[in-house]
Amino acid sequence: MRFFLWRQGGILRYNSVWQNLAALLFTVLTTQSIDGEFYLRVALFALFSTLMTGYGYLINDLADRELDRLHGKRNAFHNTHPLVALGVVVAMLIVGGLFALPFFERNGFLLIWVVWCLTATAYSMPPLRLKERGAIGLAATIAAQQTLPTALLLAAFGNVWSVAALVFVLFSTTRGISSDVGHQVRDWADDQSTNTRTFAVRVGLNAIQKLYAISLELERLALGAVIVLLLVELPALSLFGMRTAIAWPLAPLYFFLLALTVGRSIQAQRRGRLSENDPYDEKRQTRVRDALHVIHHSLPSVALPLYLALWAALAYWPNALFVLLLGALYGLYSPKRWAATWPLRPLLARLRSS
């Protein structure tokens, strides 16, 4: 159990399926055949996804035990016997594969899963150890953490070869680029000191910071493509005698946030203040909840799936399961959590000072 709770439940928090739950809810709202078997498949996929996410992260920790010790970084297998560590990783893969069996009939699922397993393994483990092979390593980790898991989700519940799937995979991929390039930016000094040949070390700090700034701008635009997809593809409702898309409230919220953040990352990089405006810095995430945080985290991971889940529950009440899941996952039942988010936090601070 301690491996599941590793890094404050990191296997759950960093699970790309939960981060891209909007893709599943999109299929729920655009699919007519929702029944008891569907929810069983959701539960099986949740277990599969959790175990496979654990495999990806833990095989990396297994390969990096000594390197993380030198860097002074946390590692799930510190003070764990090597054979025990290996056993945990292999068990994650085998049991995760058992939960994947019901989805093998889905078009493209088995192929994508095999590619994912090979990519996640080759990224960390010798002899390939792609993480030290520059751009190939960067592409591998993005594919393993975001692109392929999102494609697996869409293959399991929808049509992975559709335009809608392409949009969701594109967004998750840009998100993965931001997350992993940012990770290499923050680890640049440690990696250089130990001569770890990551992509960032190969190209230099200035070049990787420029790439990171551009990737953050592209991620925000890719989120806009998801919003447009929802406006076009989701069912419409009648409002004041007019037919309107149920996703329309999301558009003004997105464009308002985009207006506050567009160009911000590139400007911060040019001024040497990118670290202060890094939405993927874990320390910043806990203390700063500004528009930059909302458009990269709160909107795509919480607000968007929660909004779609509420509509799904109105259409078919058992879908309230997704509302409860999101509430439990992100602590949405806590008034303190809502009070700490933007724009309530600065508003409440102003009211207290007046």
Q: What is the CA radius of gyration of the chain?
A: 21
> For position 130, what pLDDT does the model report?
86
> For position 294, what pLDDT does the model report?
92
Most confident of 121-125, 172-176, 244-248: 172-176
**Which two tokens mark 335?**
């008034």
What gap in Å lies between CA 20 and CA 17, rounded to an integer? 5
What gap in Å lies between CA 134 and CA 276, rounded to an integer? 26
Distance in Å from the first CA to the final CA of the chain? 48
Is residue 142 in a domain? yes
Is residue 326 in a domain? yes
> For position 111, what pLDDT does the model report?
96
Residue 200 and residue 185 in contact, taking contact as beta carbons nearer than 8 Å = yes
Q: 3-class secondary structure for 50-99?
A: HHHHHHHHHHHHHHCHHHHHHHCCCCCCCCCCHHHHHHHHHHHHHHHHHH
Is residue 240 in a domain? no
Other C-beta atoms closer than 10 Å to the C-beta of 20 total 26
**Which two tokens mark 291?**
């528009």
- Residue 289: what are its φ and ψ, rounded to 5°? -125, 60
Give mean pLDDT, residues 331-335: 75
Residue 285 and residue 297 in contact, taking contact as beta carbons nearer than 8 Å = yes
Q: What is the pLDDT of residues 264-296, one digit of tens each?
A: 999 999 999 999 999 998 888 877 888 999 999
- Residue 340: what are its φ and ψ, rounded to 5°? -90, 0
Is residue 135 in a domain? yes
Other C-beta atoms closer than 10 Å to the C-beta of 252 total 9
pLDDT at position 241 over 80: no
Domain around 251: 6-234+245-349
What gap in Å lies between CA 205 and CA 193, rounded to an integer? 13
> For position 24, what pLDDT does the model report?
92
Give mean pLDDT, residues 66-72: 75
What is the number of residues in the chain? Answer: 354
Is residue 180 in a domain? yes
Give mean pLDDT, residues 55-83: 81
Q: What is the pLDDT of residues 149-162, one digit of tens each?
A: 999 999 999 899 99
**Which two tokens mark 295?**
């458009």
The dihedral through the CA atoms of 89, 44, 166, 25 has a sign that is negative
Is residue 354 in a domain? no
> For position 349, what pLDDT does the model report?
72
Is residue 330 in a domain? yes
Q: What is the pLDDT of residues 97-112, one digit of tens each?
A: 999 999 999 999 999 9
The pLDDT-based confidence of 244 (bands split at 50, 70, 90) is confident
What gap in Å lies between CA 83 and CA 31, rounded to an integer? 46
Residue 145 and residue 176 in contact, taking contact as beta carbons nearer than 8 Å = yes
> For position 230, what pLDDT does the model report?
95
Amino acid letter, 50: T
Other C-beta atoms closer than 10 Å to the C-beta of 317 total 9
- Residue 280: what are its φ and ψ, rounded to 5°? -100, 5
Rounded alpha-carbon distances, angstroms, from residue 128 to 63, 120, 125, 140, 146: 12, 11, 7, 11, 21
Q: What is the pLDDT of residues 83-101, one digit of tens each?
A: 888 898 999 899 999 999 9
The total number of structural domains in the chain stands at 1
What gap in Å lies between CA 28 and CA 314, rounded to an integer? 12
* % of the chain with per-residue pLDDT over 70: 90
Is residue 239 in a domain? no
Torsion of CA 139, 141, 142, 148, to 10 degrees: 110
> For position 156, what pLDDT does the model report?
93
Helix (H) and strand (E) counts for the chain? Answer: 21, 2
